[in-house]
Amino acid sequence: DVRAPAAGIVKDVLVKEGDSVNVGQAVCTLEEGGAAPAKKGGKKAAAKEAPAAAAGPTADIEVPPMGDSITEGAIAALVKTPGEACAADEVIAQIETDKVTIDVRAPSAGIVEGWSVNEGDTVTVGQAIARFTPGAAGAAPAAPKGAAAPAAPKADAAVLPAAKSLKPATPASAAPPAVSPAASSAPAAGSRGETRVKMTRLRMRVAERLKSAQNTYAMLTTFNEIDMSNLMSMRTQYKDQFMEKHGVKLGFMSAFIKASGRALKAEPAVNAIIDGDEIVYRDYVDVSVAVSAPKGLVVPVLRNVDAMTFADVERSIATYGKKAKDGTLSIDEMTGGTFTISNGGVFGSLNGTPIINPPQSAILGMHSIVQRPVVINGEIVARPMMNVALTYDHRLVDGREAVTFLKMIKEAVEDPRRLLLNL
């Protein structure tokens, strides 16, 4: 959904239904202000406000659908207390699943009468979790001066504090860790205490999938090193112009993702999967980018990266990174993916062997950039070098294909002109 950032009037719609749009593209112009509702006329406004002023019958709020493969979750936070008013579409609770955190929103303005569940309880799709009286809260903002304009800021004021309160309330295990600092500061020295914290559903799911990958795949890792000099020089030379034109920073991930897309097309086995007794070859390239979120590892997917520009890639990564921190990634944004890239270098990792993200057949591990002595044209010089690792399923991918794939990425990153010339 594209939502209005503030009350106002939609002046121009810049796209048509069915048009393809990119992240960050302007789709309409909005004139902020409360004039829009007032122009509808006193009688119409009064007629629209009348139903909001009258409280409707109390009804149950149920757990919303959470995705095709998700049937249950745990109550992560009850944002509203019994008797508290809320605006239409305001978040009143959060449900943590093994993939994402789902917001439960108020169907209309009203009052949350009470909860039938507690934080930490397991709930299923369609289960009633709250009693809700619609309309009762709508009378309060409608009273002043009879115009609907003040109601919009009221709704914003109700939504924003709730959004701010989600950060401390989001982790289901927020309470136990809060005790540990006090416990650790109590003894002067030599504390040997222990703190038990319940694993979040996301962490349990990550652990299950990673162990399943180890038990199922014949994983083998091949290594290489990349001279980052040319890519760093290109970034230094064009980063300001890139930022000015595209509104996003130029990083290194876009080059690696574009190089991976090209290599996946050249070595289709790395982009394939085993399904029973069949091999499924995909003619599209969707790259999952491993992102460290507050609750655990998440892997949003960049789709059709072979058709994306550097700017498209950087914009998508920035958007997904923000959503991962806020816990607002949707299931659709993390579903699919034919290949994964994990950048442990941002944490200082020098080398490692990444684990395949099922049901994919390979994963690329990036590591930190370190100045090292290398021999070039018979001379020892210092160059910024990055170690890279490709873990692949040896049941499907042969060593020749894996080494060739990683070498193609190395060549493209060391000389970014290859990406432009399709070499």
The residues assigned a catalytic role are: 394, 398
Give 7's DSSP letter: S
Q: Which pair of tokens denotes residue 357?
A: 């993200």
The region that residue 137 occupies, defined by phi over 0 for left and psi between -120 and 50 for alpha, beta otherwise, is alpha
Task: Classify 123 as helix, strand or coil.
Answer: strand
CA angle 209, 212, 218 (to 5 degrees): 125
| CA–CA dist 25, 160 (Å, integer) | 24
DSSP-assigned letters across all residues of 260-304: HHHHHHH-GGGG-EEETTEEE--SS--EEE-EEETTEEE--EE--
Q: Which has the closest alpha carbon to 340: 287, 386, 294, 393?
A: 287
Report the relative pairing of strands 296-298 and 110-115 from DSSP bridges: unpaired
Measure Cα distances from 13 to 5, 20, 21, 111, 381 in Å: 15, 14, 13, 35, 56
Tokens 């018979």 belong to which residue?
A: 378
List of long-range contacts for 202-208, beta carbons under 8 Å, 24+ apart: 202/96, 202/97, 202/98, 202/99, 202/295, 202/296, 202/298, 203/295, 203/296, 204/98, 205/98, 205/99, 206/296, 206/297
How far apart are the C-alpha atoms of 240 and 236, rounded to whole Å? 8
| 393 sits in which H/E element | strand 379-393
The token pair at 282 is 């995909």
Q: Which helix (H) or strand (E) holds 95?
A: strand 91-96
The distance of Cα 135 from the centroid of its chain, to the nearest Å, equals 34
Q: Residue 150 corresponds to which tokens in the numbers above?
A: 């003040």
CB atoms within 10 A of CB 208: 11
